Amino acid sequence: MLDYITSYLKSDLTPGSAGNLFWAFVYIVLIFLGLSVAVIAMNWLERKILAHMQVRLGPMRVGPHGLLQPIADALKLLIKEDIMPSAADPWVFWSAPLLVVITAFTVFVVVPFGPTHAVTDMNIGVLFMLGVSSLSVLGVVMAGWASNSHYPLMGALRSSAQMVSYEIAMGLAVISAVLMTSLNNEGTGTLSMIGIVQAQQAQHVWFAFKFFPLGLIAFFIFAVAMVAETNRAPFDLPEAESELTAGFHTEYSGFRWSLFFLAEYSAMIAVSSIAVTLWLGGWMRPFPNALNGETWDLVFSLVPGLTFLLLAAITFYSTARMPKHPYFKVQTIGLGGFGAVLALIGVALFIPPVRDRVQDIFWFSAKVAFSMYMYIWYRGTFPRYRFDQLMKVGWKVLLPLGIGVLVLTAIAGILF
Amino acid sequence: MTDRTTIDRTTIDRTSHLELEQHDKTFLDSNELIINMGPQHPATHGVLRVVLKLDGEKVLGTECVIGYLHRGVEKIAEHRTYTMFNPYVDRMDYVAAVSNGLGYCGAVEKLLNVEAPRRAQYIRVILTELNRLASHMLWLGTHALDIGAITPLFYTFRDREEILKIFEKYCGARLTTHAFRIGGCSYETYDGFEREVKKFLDFVAPKIDEYEELLTTNRIWVERTKDVGKISARECIALGVTGPVLRASGVKWDLRKAQPYAAYADFDFEIPVGENGDTYDRYIVRMQEMRQSLRIIDQAIGKIPDGPIMAKVAKVMKPPVGEIYHSIEAPKGELGYFIVSDGSTQPYRVRVRPPSFVNLQALDMMVRGALVADVIAVIGTLDIVLGEVDR
């Protein structure tokens, strides 16, 4: 048994590919936990960042700087009364959030956090991700239909139309990236998520900058389509608050609603992961070719630790600025403790064996985090599209652009 | 969708005609959907209920059901003396309470045949224009929020706060100010009033640019507002629509110029007008009006004349028998007071001509054939306050 566990450590495959169920299970648990923490963190970060964009403070009461606010919210949602409208279709109403949340989590099976840090490596990885994540529209439609109410129904109709039409532009952008993977001596492309990153490594370029500006346009198409795909501002029509109150989940509350919330944020992380893998070099650190050599390797390998130390420094600074009143004593200690934990993690990340192992995960997460920040930024900046305009952008702008980029990429691939 | 057995028609009050029509049909008869927007809805600015008849996303017809905020303000007036009724008018358009007060005081003054002193007139103009700014800021924030831009709301509320602070310092109240009294002003300006207003003018001018930067050329904003809720000048006049909505349709009609009241004749300002009468033009007109208000305040603040702030008015007011109509340009349009006096201390009848109520009539015409999202945009652009619609 121990052999079974340790034998994997020597392999350079993902647990799924190596056929090691134990480590696959460990990875699944880790990803599940990590994702839940990420969603909680995103909840807090979104509220804070949005608040600072809007000249207000955001959550400040539960814990220092509202750090415990997401946990308080989660608890509140869990202990809320479970309400199901009497006119609702119970089974569909019950299964819709489950479907949404399951699809949102399942896609992470193929997300490569590093060359070996994925549950498994499928040869149809991208297809799997797109396929499974687009199943979530089914859950949304089910939720809207089962609620047996006007606003959810309209939200569901909107979201189904929206998700279906943006999926096409998204697919075209993905194909042009996949096409770029085939530009090697053998001429073999790949749909495997790990294979795509390795192709970028072999070609010494992130696909976003390949055949400038073709890669960038494809990335742009995907970046727009992924916002629409996840129903976020400015494409948040299915849950347009000012029009449809809450859209497809108007009738949901408590735990069921929190499942939709969880699914929305993990879907955001999932599509961001696809974008990062396909165009931003996945787990690779910035400038692997321009700034190569041992010195640069060392400099970049210190970044994860330094990032955490910086976070710890910010936390300590905030701790020092906490009010001196005895009422805030517990909060001050808590914030200081949080800073200490961050500092400890930062220091631990400098230890060479740890340092080498977390490199991939750190750079991948950093890129995804950047993409998540963009989501929040959009939300703070843009008004909402109208339904017909949304369709116009999808079908008349992104689709022709996607086809054009695809054709030009193919031509460029032959010429260069 | 409606389960016909559970709805007893007689038990539902305020059932709209659209809904009654729907009841006569079965589910299979029609592809149309009747949706109740409001009275509890995030974008109906209070307790407006709009019954929408939809074909998919397309609006086939609307019907406004109002009265959820009815307090009988006009009836209350019949049992109060002229002075006692003064605070009540603040509760109609509560985001532009100063304008309401100005209109009412002006009407009663006309009835009594007194005129407020020059100094009071200038203070009135300054406060009313500040209130116009506050009202437009609130409109901009909520209108942008309805269209999905959440950030301008917080910017406008931050800056509106400065205006409310000035009000609070002047009369102790922020929203329902009751700043004016029949015959003049209740209060003398506080020390540093002029300095603070001047400081506010310098503070707010770049802020208005900031709002415009966020919205005016924003592609999505322009797409959402251009050619949405169009209304022609002819239709506006036919419906009695006034204020920025009328001006955005190209009619240069502003009571401050057309029949100057208070001290408006002394000031130099322009009436911004639009061309297309769409939501974007109304937005531009209101933004320019904010700048014009700044101009008026800037002119007024430098030359507030000295003198008394109250005219000689009897403690117990008994206006002569007669009737009077006095209207002013409130932020939302023509706000008129029709007062009938029977010679006693209490008015025989007070009728308010509220701009929100009249402008709301145009909603159906403006959104017919548009999409659901446009209904929200149009409700926002009409700038209604339900306290004033229902009274």
Q: What is the DSSP string of A375-412?
A: HHHHHHH--PPPHHHHHHIIIIIIHHHHHHHHHHHHHH
Q: Which of A47, A147, A386, A397 should one mutate to test binding to chain B, selecting the residue with the greatest count of B CBs within 10 A?
A: A386
The DSSP element (H or E) to which B293 belongs, if any, is: helix B279-302
CB contact under 8 A, A234 and B43: no
Of B22, B372, B374, which to mutate for an interface test with A (greatest number of A Cβ within 10 Å)? B372
Q: Which residues contact A152 (CB under 8 A, 6 or more apart)?
A: A143, A144, A145, A244, A247, A248, A249, A250, A251
Give the pLDDT confidence of A227-271 residue by residue, as tens digits. 888 888 788 876 666 667 677 888 888 888 888 888 888 888 988
CA dist B275 and B237 (Å) reads 15
Q: Is residue A330 part of a domain?
A: no
Which residues are within 8 A (CB) of B138 and not within 5 positions of it... i.e. 6 or more apart? B95, B156, B157, B160
Count residue pairs from A and B with Cβ separation < 8 A: 88
Q: Is A356 exposed, middle or buried (0-12, 13-18, 19+ CB in 10 A)?
A: exposed
A residues 83-112 near B, CB within 8 Å? Answer: 87
d(CA B391, CA B389): 6
Any domain includes A127: yes
- Do residues A148 and A85 touch, judged by C-beta distance below 8 A? yes
Please state, in angstroms and rounded to a whole number, the distance separating the CA atoms of residues A261 and A257. Answer: 6
Q: What is the DSSP string of B197-233?
A: HHHHHHHHHHHHHHHHHHHTT-HHHHHHHTTSS---H
Per-residue burial over B274-312, b if 16 or more Cβ lie within 10 Å, else e, is bebbbbbbbbbbbbbbbbbbbbbbbbbbeebeeeebbbe
Q: Name the CA dihedral angle for A133, A139, A140, A141, rounded to a multiple of 10 degrees.
A: 120
Give Cβ neighbours of residue A207 (< 8 Å, ≥ 6 apart). Answer: A177, A180, A196, A200, A215, A218, A219, A278, A279, A281
Dig out the tokens for B254 from the structure.
């502003």
Confidence (pTM):
0.84
Question: pLDDT (tens digit, 0 to 9) for every residue of chain B, 391 residues total?
Answer: 444 445 444 444 555 666 666 555 555 555 677 888 878 777 777 788 888 888 877 888 888 888 888 888 888 988 888 888 888 888 888 888 888 989 999 999 988 888 888 888 898 899 999 999 999 999 999 998 888 888 888 999 999 999 999 999 888 888 888 888 888 888 888 888 888 899 999 999 899 988 888 888 888 889 888 888 888 888 888 988 998 999 998 888 888 888 888 888 888 888 899 888 889 999 999 999 999 999 999 888 888 888 888 888 888 888 888 888 999 998 988 999 999 988 888 899 899 998 999 988 888 888 888 888 888 888 888 888 888 888 8
Q: Count structural domains, chain A.
A: 1
Helical H runs in A321-351? Answer: 329-348
Selected for mutation to probe chain B from A145, A160, A242 (highest B CB count within 10 Å) is A242
Which sign does the torsion angle of CA B27, B29, B33, B36 carry? negative
Is residue A340 in a domain?
no
Q: What whole-number distance in Å separates Cα of residue A237 and Cα of residue A251?
A: 17
Evaluate whether residue A332 is within a structural domain.
no
A148 vs B1: CB contact, 8 Å cut-off? Answer: yes
How far A263 CA lies from chain B's nearest CA (Å)? 22
Residues of chain A found within 8 Å of residue B220, distances taken between Cβ atoms: 234, 382-385, 389
Among B374, B360, B359, B372, residue whose Cα is nearest residue B225: B374
Kindly state whether B224 is in contact with chain A, defined as any CB-CB distance less than 8 angstroms: yes
Residue A206, C-beta contacts closer than 8 angstroms, at least 6 positions apart: A200, A215, A279, A280, A281, A284
In eight-state DSSP terms, residue A207 is G
Q: How confident is the model at residue A350 (pLDDT cuts 50, 70, 90)?
A: confident
Q: Does A381 touch chain B (CB under 8 A)?
A: yes
Kindly state the tokens that stand for B299.
């002119």
Q: Are B232 and B249 in contact (CB under 8 A)?
A: yes
State whether residue A160 sits within 8 Å of chain B by CB. Answer: no
For residue A248, the surrounding DSSP H or E stretch is none
pLDDT tens for each residue of A62-120:
888 888 888 898 888 889 888 888 888 888 888 888 888 888 888 888 888 888 778 88
State which residues form the domain around A408. Answer: 2-302+350-415
Asked if residue A236 lies in contact with residue B148, where contact means CB atoms within 8 angstroms, the answer is yes
**What SS3 state is found at B108?**
helix
Q: Which residue has the tokens 């085939």?
A: A182
For B379, residues 6+ apart whose C-beta sits below 8 A from its C-beta are B43, B44, B45, B48, B50, B146, B363
Cross-chain Cβ contact B220/A148 below 8 Å = no
From the list B35, B41, B144, which residue is nearest A383 (CB)? B144
Q: Report which of A181, A162, A171, A270 is spatially closest to residue A221, judged by C-alpha positions.
A: A171
- CA–CA distance from B376 to each of A212, A241, B357 (Å)? 42, 11, 17
Chain B interface disruption, residue of A50, A160, A241, A384, most B CBs within 10 A: A384
Contacts of A361-365 with CB under 8 Å at 24 or more apart are A361/A113, A361/A114, A361/A117, A361/A283, A362/A303, A362/A304, A362/A307, A363/A283, A363/A284, A363/A285, A363/A286, A364/A112, A364/A113, A364/A114, A364/A273, A364/A276, A364/A282, A364/A283, A365/A113
Phi/psi of residue B335, nearest 5 degrees:
-105, 115
pLDDT at A135 over 90: no
Query: Which residues, at least 6 apart from B334, have a Cβ–Cβ distance to it below 8 Å?
Result: B242, B243, B255, B327, B328, B353, B355, B358
The residue with greater pLDDT, A187 or A349, is A349
> Is B155 close to A54, i.e. CB distance below 8 A?
yes
Q: Could you give the dihedral angle defined by the CA atoms of residues B305, B308, B309 and B313, in that order, rounded to the nearest 10 degrees? A: -140
Q: Is the ipTM beyond the 0.90 threshold?
A: no
State how far the Cα of A106 lies from the Cα of A270, in Å rounded to an integer.
Answer: 10
Do residues B263 and B120 lie in contact, with contact meaning Cβ atoms separated by under 8 Å? no
pLDDT at A2: 74
Cβ–Cβ contact B316 with A under 8 A: no
Q: Is A352's Cβ below 8 Å from some Cβ in B? A: no
Asked if A245 reaches chain B (Cβ–Cβ under 8 Å), the answer is yes
Scanning A261-300 for CB atoms below 8 A from B yields: none
What Å distances lie between residue A111 and A121, A151, B90, B162, B278, CA to CA?
Answer: 8, 35, 60, 51, 48
Task: Scan for tokens 């509350």, then name that residue.
Answer: A253
Domains of chain B by residue range: 4-65, 73-390
Residue A219 vs residues A107, A213, B214: alpha-carbon distances, Å: 20, 10, 26
Which token pair is A186?
A: 């053998």
| CA A153 – CA A159 distance, rounded (Å) | 10
Nearest to A383 among B42, B155, B218 (CB): B218
The dotted CATH code for B73-390 is 1.10.645.10
Residues 6+ apart with CB under 8 A from B249: B231, B232, B233, B235, B236, B274, B276, B277, B281
B215 inside 8 A of chain A by CB: yes
Residue A376 amino acid letter = I
Establish if A315 belongs to a structural domain: no
b or e along A235-251 (b: 16 or more beta carbons within 10 Å of the residue's beta carbon)?
A: bbbbbbbbbbbbbbbbb
Residue A158: list chain B partners with CB under 8 A: 57
Task: Specify the pLDDT at position B11.
Answer: 45
